[in-house]
Amino acid sequence: MKEINADAPIGAEKARQLPDPKGYRMLIMLPQMEEKTEGGVILPDEHRAREETATIVGFVLKMGDLCYKDPDKFPTGPWCKEGDWVLFRSYSGTRIKIHTAEFRIINDDTVEAVVQDPRGVKRA
């Protein structure tokens, strides 16, 4: 997966097109898949698209106003925050594409873990 520079600004036009998640939902940016394997083999577009769809890691861009506010569900507080890399289930959430970047809108309780470095995280 290509490295995402979380500090790099998203273009103003693209940023205006990003949806604002509502309620307990979160906007997740997915990393782009590499075009080649480590050995230099070029991966077909179909394979890369399948891997993007099934990805299990993403960057939390925005959180809805009710994320982690339910004290019965989250008695110890939020599981993650904006700016975290998180793991979630394959195929979860609503998939959207803006220009060439893919995003997901997932529920707050879909997050399974926070990871410090998403490079090398792959589904088994």
Q: Does residue 54 fall inside a structural domain?
A: yes
Q: Collapsing DSSP states into helix, strand and coil, what is residue 18?
A: coil
For each of the chain's 124 residues, which pLDDT tens digit applies?
444 444 444 555 666 789 999 999 999 998 876 666 667 777 666 755 666 655 789 999 999 999 999 999 999 999 999 999 999 988 889 999 888 888 999 999 999 999 998 877 777 7
Q: Is 0.85 topped by the overall pTM?
A: no
Whether the CB-CB separation of 55 and 48 falls below 8 Å is answered with: no
- Any domain includes 64: yes
Does some domain include residue 93?
yes
Number of folded domains in the chain?
Answer: 1
Any domain includes 120: no
Q: H helices of the chain, where? A: 12-17, 45-53
Pairwise CA distance, residues 38 & 123, whole Å: 17
How far is the C-alpha of 85 from the C-alpha of 26, rounded, in Å?
12
Is residue 124 one of the residues assigned to a domain?
A: no
101: domain CATH number?
2.30.33.40
Mark 68-85 as b/e (b = at least 16 C-beta within 10 Å): beeeeeeeeeebbeeebb
In a domain, 42, yes or no: yes
Write out the residue range of the structural domain in which residue 75 sits: 25-115
Tokens 């490295």: give the residue: 3
In a domain? residue 47: yes
Q: Do the domain assignments include residue 95?
A: yes
